[in-house]
Structure 1
């Protein structure tokens, strides 16, 4: 392998907060220090990069993505406000344009759209099946809600897949639960060549955002076992020039033999769980709540019982891998806590803690639940961008739950302060692969008492992902001598030490303070621009020119 010297910049390293240069040799950080010393190293390097003041920092790990769906979303009809869709009429116009532009050979292939959120539209509702039929000229259509826990479909797709005979079907074309799973599978029915291309596009996009690894949360209604095997094998070597995929498979186990069968079928799997759903989502009214929704009848849907959770945790613990669950509502969290405690009664608290089981989202965590999670060594994969998208007094959370309950969602400061291991992710395509947006959302949480420092948020977005997957023993997630060269180069207007209340702390001149700089992430500040992404010394993305 080759060596690269990065110099004349700012190196984000607690080992040397004043470093201006860094040498990568054979995929490892070989040296870091001041620019004067770098003069003597330039001759031996195969490449010398003049950073011109740019920041070199550990590469991001997105701890919750769906690679196939992210790639498909990048190619689908965009239906979010960011794409200019601000009403039901805009959405139907976008579908009609896409239908007209399709080739005749695609007539039987579902037209895919992604990202609608009826709470942002003046009509306050999604399209109906009849409206989709008219807009798309009778073509099969699948439009996923932004949370991907429900969708609306056309008559052609409903009839072709028998959706109207499944639980979760509504006559207006809205699909949830089993009906949505079937529609989702139909929308993701691809040739092997097309699937590989979609994977590549999603991973290349992640690399362009400074991401060196993603946790793929695979499940039967999201992607196939074979697809997960392809992702793991095709990215195992950094020579692939793609981010490393860390794999989780959401299949429910009853016995340890079930777990071993999954591990045998998917070599290299890190965990059995992840998007193993205990409940749904708040946006789709399917997150399981203790008290009814404020804007609809009912309290959501509980998909797994404490007994099923306990059996699964016991099985995967005995198989020697992580387990995990998707859990959002407080009623669902109660069920998870009960199941974990039951598993601990069988296996022992120490065994459960050593396994490092993880929960995805965990948006509603009260004090008793937090105590249980700490006792059982549970790790959390959370999405700060959810708060930026739907938090606040006028956000979707307040609409669904009322202002009181909504204000307690996503308690990042409580979780971090309690010492819960945290990793940040996007849940792409639910929110975009944009790690700085997640860091910014944590620093500017809509509940001021739940804000955390930029440094803590950045660590949860870098080292936190390696730690959650049990892969931090190599030093991944930090820039220090001997650590793997997983890094990204950024152009940022201002570099500061940012406190959780938005103040800018003074930068101590004492190296023992260990406070390396990060981009300023104010609400109106332009996001840092990625110039290069490197994994194990291999360049994944390059805009340095």
Structure 2
């Protein structure tokens, strides 16, 4: 991450709103939030409606009031919401908090529609930012309709001899220029690392793109961000998430530096959201948490309870591990990150100390590999383990029943389906789409669904994800009738994925995900009824206020 110019100016607009809205810290007294169009799901997924809510000094809900029910005469304070809609805070079941922060403070190419547009943006950014390294991301050759990866030579022409590194939108590939490649001492003689691939040109020379495990060849040469830069990135991410109504996140792949950043800001009361942390590998988990998950910290705002592992790469960079060749790349079945025994050993090591195991698996072969490991582990590690498979995008239909067999959670992202649908058709061919983005099949086979966005790969907007879950359509309403509509879930099931399901997936169902007695008072005031809104209107939902633990932590101006 390049050094941030005028850091104080960046921090000021992020800190000011937090300080300004801290006034309702009187929420630490017994309080009544009244005159709301309140709705939540109960433990069985049924809609519960209410018109008022009471909470105590600990920021927990003590009572729900219905229309016509007598209100208490004496409370320490109350607010009349004027009939506005109240819903539980949304939970993103799979995101990358510091990745989002980095995207917000660095150059972001996610909205560029062509290589030329991206290069023009890079050229302007380089002129305005004299830092040595240019670091950013968000590019997508599929969106550019390029038909290939971009090259180092093209990047050289835009920014010259300054080293540059730009991650692909999915975080599973990166684009370097010639100067960055030279600084990393990567040459034609450099071998592809395990679980990675160097895209090559004439004579085996690195062409500019490094996939999955090969990315470290470049990133190890980039100067590390300072704690101040990390603080600024986190605050930017938190503000963005709270503005969208995301009150809790399962942070997938938390590094030691990420954890220190969360703790550093929590120590000065600037951690406003909740983070369910999954460590980036076994070593990180043991370094941070020691022999087992951490306790809930900062009034249930932070906990490292799990470990994230990677079984393959991404579909867009053809790193997802498939059982058969890619339809558009014969001879390529994707990347193998671990042998079966290696993956099993890592899952055993984490399970021994009681960590929840979450494994990234996108391709059908990777999903089979993880399911095989879970079946072996389930003979030894009994009890409520809640094994998680992250993404579960392409699954062999014969493997779908195995998700329910051992209570495996399918942690999926509806917006991946709407972004990937045409690419998936090209990568796989029609015959292999039967188990693709198969949300309804997961439920029918007894799996639990947790929904998220995988931000910053996709936008963290939960309303777009919710709409996609029951329509299988993108923001423009395409395709008509939905893409493979037989895999859509109901509106209520989609809502559950972003609330009760995501809470359950993180062992937090007794704290968050519902508006109910004894739960943390995490709720939103929004501008419409999401159960009545048309899909396009649901996507346009605006959050008016965001409350976490009985404190108003964000307010629309």
Cα gap change, 1:163 to 1:247, in 2 (>3 Å)? farther
SS, match of residue 524 in structure 2 = strand
1:482 to 493, 511, 518: 518
What does residue 280 of structure 1 align with?
313
Cα gap change, 1:56 to 1:45, in 2 (>3 Å)? farther
Could you tell me how far apart the structure 2 residues matched to 1:250 and 1:179 are?
17
SS, match of residue 12 in structure 1 = strand
2:63 to 28, 31, 45: 31
1:465 to 497, 502, 505: 502
What does residue 156 of structure 2 align with?
133
1:447 to 484, 505, 524: 484
1:420 to 431, 447, 450: 447
Cα gap change, 1:203 to 1:182, in 2 (>3 Å)? farther
1:306 to 325, 340, 344: 340
Q: Deviation of residue 161 (structure 1)? A: 2.4
Structure 1: gaps (5+ residues) = 497-517
Q: Deviation of residue 42 (structure 1)? A: 7.2
Q: Deviations over 1:311-360 (max 9, x none)?
A: 22322222122112110101111211222223334x1xxx3452222111
What does residue 549 of structure 2 align with?
536
SS, match of residue 472 in structure 1 = coil
CA contact (8 A) 1:490 1:530 kept: yes
Cα gap change, 1:75 to 1:407, in 2 (>3 Å)? farther
Cα gap change, 1:122 to 1:321, in 2 (>3 Å)? closer
Could you tell me how far apart the structure 1 residues matched to 2:374 and 2:526 are?
41
CA contact (8 A) 2:34 2:78 kept: no
- Establish whether residue 328 from structure 1 lines up as the match of residue 355 from structure 2: no
- Measured on the aligned residues, the alpha-carbon RMSD in Å equals 2.5
What does residue 256 of structure 2 align with?
225
SS, match of residue 384 in structure 2 = helix
Q: Deviations over 1:236-289 (max 9, x none)?
A: 99x545211111113257xxxx97566318845544432x11110110001010
Q: Deviation of residue 141 (structure 1)? A: 1.4
CA contact (8 A) 1:204 1:242 kept: no
Could you tell me how far apart the structure 2 residues matched to 1:184 and 1:308 are?
25
What does residue 152 of structure 1 align with?
175
Could you tell me how far apart the structure 1 residues matched to 2:34 and 2:503 are?
27
Could you tell me how far apart the structure 1 residues matched to 2:246 and 2:539 are?
19
Could you tell me how far apart the structure 2 residues matched to 1:541 and 1:186 are?
38
Cα gap change, 1:166 to 1:244, in 2 (>3 Å)? farther
Cα gap change, 1:188 to 1:429, in 2 (>3 Å)? farther
Could you tell me how far apart the structure 1 residues matched to 2:267 and 2:414 are?
28
SS, match of residue 290 in structure 2 = helix
What does residue 409 of structure 2 align with?
379
Q: Deviation of residue 403 (structure 1)? A: 2.7
- Establish whether residue 55 from structure 1 lines up as the match of residue 92 from structure 2: no
CA contact (8 A) 2:405 2:446 kept: no
CA contact (8 A) 1:309 1:340 kept: no
Q: Deviation of residue 389 (structure 1)? A: 0.9
SS, match of residue 251 in structure 2 = strand
SS, match of residue 125 in structure 1 = coil
1:192 to 206, 220, 227: 227
SS, match of residue 245 in structure 1 = strand
CA contact (8 A) 1:251 1:272 kept: no
Could you tell me how far apart the structure 2 residues matched to 1:181 and 1:259 are?
20
Q: Deviation of residue 218 (structure 1)? A: 1.8
Cα gap change, 1:14 to 1:338, in 2 (>3 Å)? closer
CA contact (8 A) 1:92 1:127 kept: no
What does residue 146 of structure 2 align with?
123
Q: Deviations over 1:218-243 (max 9, x none)?
A: 26xxxx31322432564499x54521
CA contact (8 A) 2:453 2:460 kept: yes
Cα gap change, 1:226 to 1:146, in 2 (>3 Å)? closer
Q: Deviation of residue 523 (structure 1)? A: 4.0
What does residue 433 of structure 2 align with?
406
SS, match of residue 9 in structure 1 = strand
Q: Deviations over 1:519-545 (max 9, x none)?
A: 5242465521011111110222112x6
What does residue 127 of structure 2 align with?
100
Cα gap change, 1:342 to 1:29, in 2 (>3 Å)? closer
Could you tell me how far apart the structure 2 residues matched to 1:118 and 1:485 are?
43
Q: Deviation of residue 150 (structure 1)? A: 0.6
